[in-house]
Structure 1
């Protein structure tokens, strides 16, 4: 009798546990947590990323407004490339205009970046409905990068007649952390930062307006003042430097420069073969990114003026750590000449001050010897690094 009761009790308990597990499964299946992993492939919202002043963006915005009036079943979102940097980085937006198709969880299902029209949007919606989501094309970046992004610009070496690649960190305090836009903006502003042996390939007074993609070609628009240089040696140099700089980005091949009604020839990578001297003097070691910091100006200066900061001492006591100059506070130099960033100067105001004294002296037209004398005098009585004197 007791055995029968025990058997019945076990059967009842087993049934209860089975029902409890089944109920728990059904509860999980219908919960929001479960929905996060369901792989929702239904388009819920259509989102555009645009840049103010961009002609292609204005056209795409008009298309979006027409779609919103004609197809109210979707949610429509409008983001600015220059202001909504968190969203730009979250979705890896690399060009404008860009239209994303998102599900209810704000996950990307597909994107359009060229020749945006109502017909293309409708065809994309039909394709996504029939064939499902496609992997996002963008590179996902964090809103606040843990490492400093850098770009490779191209300066002109008048002695060789070739272009020299130059690494520069992108300013993190700008509202635009959009690599190609940053690269073009920095390229047009590079002149005052370069060491004496290099020149900016962009003529004075020329400014960057916008960058866009047309039929697979990367188009860079410059200010109207560039038209005075078209079909000249200076203008050709500027166009080549722009193309070489942009071709360091993955997926960029053909590059065209426009200014008003002027359009240059399309420059492809094969057209520019041999135009870069491929020097490593001003390049970073790509395997060692620099941790996030605010002293971008000084680190960029140290890349371009490495040979000069190598004859500027430091006075923070870093000689005991094996430093022989102010340059060592920023970079160690590899055997191939590339610079490996260090974090020492990031935390040391003395290192930054010495670099800024050098930059100020250079702006005043002082020689290296005169700048060195000023630095030594400013820190008189403090033990310096064992730094060689400049030759001139």
Structure 2
């Protein structure tokens, strides 16, 4: 395969670049005909028939023959047994990763606060953890134990009393590493269900599945559609798009390193996006050569090749200043600043899910064990959203405790504003507390 077939080349200085970049970045989730109707039917069925519907869907879609909804729940002994079956080195890696993720997220804890005004009025904010959250974990080949750690540990740091994990087990096969991750992360309950029916059960509750306040975790088109449908009944984390990486390099990093960093996202799936930006044309050519050399060595070379061919790019810019403008325009999920002095450019970055600074900070470390969360905004949503964190598992209540004098002084303001809105009861309620 020739280099020119592997990944496109773009130049920010050439005519037509902006439209070419817009086309490259464009992505809309596939909406297969009938998916929404199917999901709505499943949700309605689970709401009406509860465990009976869950059992039927699980037996049908996961090719099982369970007789009771109790069989959907894994007890502690089964989880312990799964954890014991994996290599000790793997279990220890989960523990080490969990320690780092927990330590990082401890810094995100937000405490309640209040202050007292001169007249004795107290104002403040009460921070309270959600009562229960649901964690959706895909089954089969798409199972990622690292995502269990990233979703469950911040919830526990936030103080959530109960984390319920749902994950399908096609043909009755459990994923031992995923269950080991659930044990390490402190998941409280594991239920072997998946698909839209699992989302519906978490949102509305059944005899076996407790209703939750928030659902987090990725899934297929049916899961994503179901999450959209139940939003409002419960909160959701996000509707995640394909994985993304944007590397900005000054031309002085080993081109093999950069090629492999691009592969680290391209191997996820064919829709993943990997982009390199550099002002050094010769370096871009070196990375092209590294891609051609290293791609055949990957187990998932076919997936990575299609990702690079369809959605990847090597972009030449005039200078790093122009590169920073493109970074903010793209608003990537993962950004690597593989440059000599990343601190000098950090201040110019306004939109990015996670920023990896320097030549040695590979995105792969962030996926597993650096500490920050790897559940990140995709498809340009880093313009307005943030990584999953402790703050996603708490809610805030305002505190207003008026003194007698405070109620009198504020009552005059409230009365005036309420009457300007023709809301008499509001005004009179405030006026009753005005001191003569």
TM-score norm. by structure 2 comes to 0.20
Larger Rg: 1
